[in-house]
Amino acid sequence: MRKICVVVASRANYGRVKYLMKAVQQRPDLELQLIVSASTLLYRFGRAVDVIKADGFKPNRSLFYILEGENLVTQAKSTGAGISELATAFDDLQPDIVVSVADRFETMATAIAATYMNVPLAHIQGGEISGNIDDRVRHAITKLADLHFPSSEQSRERVIRMGEDAAYVFNVGCPSVDVLVNQDLRIDNEIMASYGGTGVGIDWTKPYVLLVQHPVTTSYGQGFAQINESLAAAVEIGLPTVVLWPNIDAGTDDVAKGIRVFRERNPTLPFHFFRNFSPEDYGRVLANAACLIGNSSSFIREGAFLGVPAVIVGDRQMGREHGRNVTFAPYEQAAIAEAGRRQIAAKRYDSDPIFGRGDAGPRMAEILASIELPAIKRMTY
């Protein structure tokens, strides 16, 4: 039996691998090993580990290695601490293949630890282009990985042009789309009542804006001003607004401070603030929003499949492949608000399957069960 070790390091990571983990569990020729780590374990980022356990998954290891501060120095040091912790975990678990996701510093730690321990690495969502340090991290992980699961045909072609052997590059689609096709996306107040949150109460059956804005590592120190422009634009648009807490990248304190100051100064505005949702309920929130505003890649991936109008703010996703549902705006209140109003008027776009059709998990599991990886990786042109 082949042991597949999936490393989940953030709430977004979990949404992208949940249906892969389910597919691995269902196969008699595969054994799922699960490592939860980093912000997945932290309360202020929503403790996604609680959602993971509620879904029936039992972590084999829980690794705490995030240094307090969320700045450039602690981001680098947390990467180093992650390499150390993951190396110990891999030595204990002896996986046959390690699976990691996307482009975060935690993913880099996973890739380095697995590579130096001669454990084959499968990388999900390689070959993409975006506007900040994630590009460098993502492409570096591609060069460390043995097996590639890009989410679009364009990304598959990029991975191959980077010198990766086409025999080990599979366009399976984005696994987060699996969440959308395997559930009822209906939303109402009863379904969402358990999340609580803070701010003015929201009626989920009426039009609302979803705002998710993460820090941009390459413009560290500007997050406070950037989030203020987006929040002010949401006020101008005038619909109730759901705000989700930012991720743990360097600069998150600035973005979080902007949200807290706005919340304290505007207690009567129709804004409601949440730390986290389960992958399924986040899918509901996405699917039923009148407009998505911010810089989350989910607005591009899941948003394209759902056809939900989205305004991508700033340069965090600059150059990323996207569907018809996306428009872009700079960090300027008036520009964001104008783009938001246009998108709300559009109401919905046709579903665009550039990131797959929702069957990535089983397809990846089949490949993980059957593929034979070479001991020595060669650059191929």
- Give the pLDDT means over successive 10-residue stretches in the chain (381 positions): 96 92 97 96 91 96 92 94 98 98 93 98 95 88 98 97 97 96 94 93 96 93 97 98 94 95 97 95 97 97 97 92 96 98 96 94 98 92 83
pLDDT on residue 104: 87
pLDDT on residue 319: 87
Cβ-based neighbours of 196, under 8 Å, separated by 6 or more: none
Rounded Cα–Cα distance for residues 230 and 295 (Å): 10
Among residues 295, 230, 234, 312, which one has the least CA distance to residue 270?
234
Task: Report, in angstroms and rounded to the nearest whole number, the Rg of the chain calculated over CA atoms.
Answer: 20
What domains does the chain contain, in order, with CATH numbers? 2-181+358-370 (3.40.50.2000), 189-355 (3.40.50.2000)
pLDDT on residue 44: 86
pLDDT on residue 314: 94
The neighbouring-strand residues paired with 313 are: 329
Note the helical H segments in the chain. 11-25, 48-54, 72-93, 105-116, 134-144, 153-161, 176-181, 189-192, 223-237, 252-265, 279-288, 301-306, 333-346, 360-370
